[in-house]
Amino acid sequence: MTGDTAAATALVTGAGSGIGAAVARAAARAGMRVAALDVAGLDGLGDGILALEADVCDEGAVAGAIARCRERLGVPTAVLANAGVERNGPAHAIPLEEWERTLQVNLTGAFLTARHAIRAMLDAGTGGSVVCTSSPAAFVGFAGGGNAAYAASKGGVSALVRSIALDYAGAGIRVNAVVPGATDTPLLGADAERPARVERAREQIPLGRLGRPDDVADAVLWLWSDAASYVTGSHLVVDGGLMAKSANTF
């Protein structure tokens, strides 16, 4: 992103809850024009945020949403490709449709978001900053297991970030990833096992607590800002120290 952060247009996918909602609100508080995309459920984000319904797996829907953002708010030069799902199960048992859906949302969705946002930036000659949401699962295996689909999708996101960061650096477009650890969002589940799952995670985190969506939002806004103007192709880990440990049991 170039110029004044407050004058920029931000576009956030997966903005219906959790990290995406926190980033959209933080960007609005910073004075940015904000387009928030989700497949559904965009109530309550606040006044002044443009709510757009789009499935990130549908290229036409993504392209159309970015076109509407450009028409209403201007070219999005601060982008977060955050939409994601987590489907757990050992490789021999997870249904193929669950594997495919995880890769479609997490990896193809990030690709399509970056693809059409970058096209808009190139067309306008603006430069910009694209951030994708990766995961510690892209780098380490979880002792609890059953992460094949999610880990593969996030590993792909991290590889995508490194590749396109090189492709578009000459155009003034920076591409980075934020890597949230265990964060208190709906992805941790809403079943009866959630409290025990949260406690197990908390016990493994050196800083002694789960991340908050706002912790990740602060990192994303920094990656968007001119303070990070020399940062591209990188991963900003926001995990309370979890990946620094020799073993990850979450």
Is 168 catalytic? The answer is no
- In DSSP notation, 143-157 reads TT---HHHHHHHHHH
Q: How far apart are CA 175 and CA 131, in angstroms?
A: 6
Q: How many CB atoms lie within 10 A of CB 215?
A: 19
Q: How far apart are CA 159 and CA 156, in angstroms?
A: 5
Distances (CA, A) of 77 to 2, 48, 56, 125, 232: 8, 18, 18, 10, 15
Q: Of 99, 111, 150, 168, which residue is the catalytic one?
A: 150
Q: How many CB atoms lie within 10 A of CB 200?
A: 14
> Quick check: 157 and 133 in contact, CB under 8 A?
yes
Residues marked active site are found at 150
